[in-house]
Amino acid sequence: MDKLVIEGGNRLEGQVTASGSKNSALPLIAAALLPETGTTVLERIPDLKDTRTFRKLLDFLGADTSFAEGRMEINAANLRSIEAPYELVKQMRASIYVLGPMLGRFSKAEVSLPGGCAFGPRPIDLHLMAMEKLGATISIENGFIKATVPGGRLKGGPIEFPISSVGATGNALMAAALADGVTTITNAAAEPEITALCDHLIAMGAMIEGTGTSKLIIEGKKELKAVTFTNIFDRIETGTLLAAAAITGSSITITDTDPSHMASVLRKFETAGCHIATENGTIHLKSPDILLPTDIIANPYPLFPTDMQAQWIALMTQAKGTSQIIDKVYHERFNHIPELNRLGAKIEIHNNEAIVHGPVELTGTKVMSTDLRASACLVLAGLVAKGTTEVLRVYHLDRGYERIEDKLRQLGASIRRESYQEFT
């Protein structure tokens, strides 16, 4: 097992390039199951545990895939299975993304109930409801979602989500793209990752109106074609790197971004006293002499993302005053706080609210990753902590960050990866 060893106290400086987005790469890969012929080529796919797992899943289904230097090629013409097995699905919740494309193309699918990060329940009810609205019959048997379409082809219709869900919106989009008739999705997720999926589907021949809004109208097609498509940048990785600069009192530049995707996050950095400059896809952050306490409420896009909540809590340990952080997306996403307190942070938890008192001097020790963003939070804390911090179980981090230790080291951090043996 791997850990990251960080010697805290170094200031960061320089320029790095943003990686492709993990959260958009996975539905883009799933959409490659829709065309019956041809090879889908996806550019700027990050080399992550999740993208490698998803590729293994497509290989298991019978797709012909290859991946090198950010370019993934997928030919799904000769799929031989409609079953996504537990052994692969348990590693990543996003495996549920194959449900919509398989139902749309084959009118049947069997997908193991998913696994993923361990921070409270994240039900798949909305995914199943969307498929049922399109005419699928669904049952849960022996840990599997078993779905069939009695009429032989999904039928377009109204889908209204009671809460916004990126995953369920993506699944509904892919299924509706091959459904018979028109599908209207209301309260659809409007995240940039969904816009990227819409753009990909449109390039494949789908008819979609309302891209980038909470109401999507999809006119189903009998077939879609394989195309070449370039993934968007990872706004969460970019936000994490900006937080790394802010927590260490540094200045950095990140290229190949789209600042419009990060408006809410960049505003919060400015409220905290940081100077932000954007130009031609580049974001530059200069830290203030005194970091100001800044409250956040994590909500669906375009508001502050839940995937930046943990990193913001780490940052606020160095702000002069008290900050309030509320997560309205995942109420139980605070497993990182006990570990931060072990480093010397002063954080209280009240239901889905965290109160952060700062500034405090953090002191390095061993800390345990519990999920993807919690891992990033602990790395940020280690960058500013006095002495040595060891972040254990970074396989969580590897699910969503492409060699982040290399980027941090490029910026001047003292950070290295080591193997270790856990006690059992």
Rounded-to-integer distance, Cα 195 and Cα 170, Å: 10
pLDDT tens digits, one per residue of 33-88: 999 999 999 999 999 999 999 999 999 999 999 999 999 999 999 998 888 887 88
pLDDT for 424 equals 57
On whether residue 424 sits in a domain, the answer given is no
2 is in an annotated binding site: no
Of 23-32, 37-46, 92-101, 295-304, the range with the lowest mean pLDDT is 92-101
Q: Is 124 annotated as a binding residue?
A: yes
On whether 16 is known to bind a ligand per the annotation, the reply is: no
The pLDDT of residue 115 is: 52
Same-domain pairing of 13 and 78: no
Residues 373 and 260 placed together within one structural domain of the fold: yes
In this prediction the pTM is 0.95
CB environment 247-275: b (16+ within 10 A), e (fewer):
bbbbbbbbeebebebbebbbebbeebbbe
On whether residue 107 sits in a domain, the answer given is yes
The pLDDT, as a whole number, for residue 114 is 72
Are 207 and 335 members of one domain? Answer: no
Q: Is 307 assigned to a binding site?
A: yes
223 plus 345 within the same structural domain: no
Q: Taking the CA atoms of 317, 319, 322 and 325 in sequence, report the sign of the dihedral they define.
A: negative
pLDDT value of position 121: 45
- The answer to whether position 237 is within a domain reads yes
Is residue 31 domain-shared with residue 13, that is, in the same domain?
A: no
Q: Are residues 303 and 178 in the same domain?
A: no
Alpha helices in 62-191 (DSSP H): 86-89, 99-106, 125-133, 166-176
Active-site hit among 117, 198, 274, 377: 117
Residues 261 and 278 in one domain: yes
User: Do residues 298 and 362 both lie within one domain?
Assistant: yes
Interval 294-327: pLDDT, tens: 999 999 999 999 999 999 999 999 999 999 999 9
Does one domain contain both 65 and 97? yes
- The verdict on 182 and 288 lying in the same domain is no
CATH number, residue 40: 3.65.10.10
Is 208 among the domain residues? yes
Q: How many CB atoms lie within 10 A of CB 373?
A: 28
Report the C-alpha gap between 127 and 185 in whole angstroms. 12
Q: Which residue range is the domain that position 286 belongs to?
A: 2-19+233-419
User: Considering its fold, how many domains does the chain have in total?
Assistant: 2
Residue 123 annotated in ligand binding: yes
How many CA atoms lie less than 13 Å away from 331 in the CB half-sphere? 4
What rounded mean pLDDT belongs to the chain? Answer: 94
Q: Is the peptide bond before 259 cis (omega within 30 degrees of 0)?
A: no
- Does the annotation list 416 as a binding residue? no
Domain identity same for 12 and 71: no
Whether 377 is catalytic: no
pLDDT at 120 over 90: no
Q: Which amino acid is at 169?
A: T
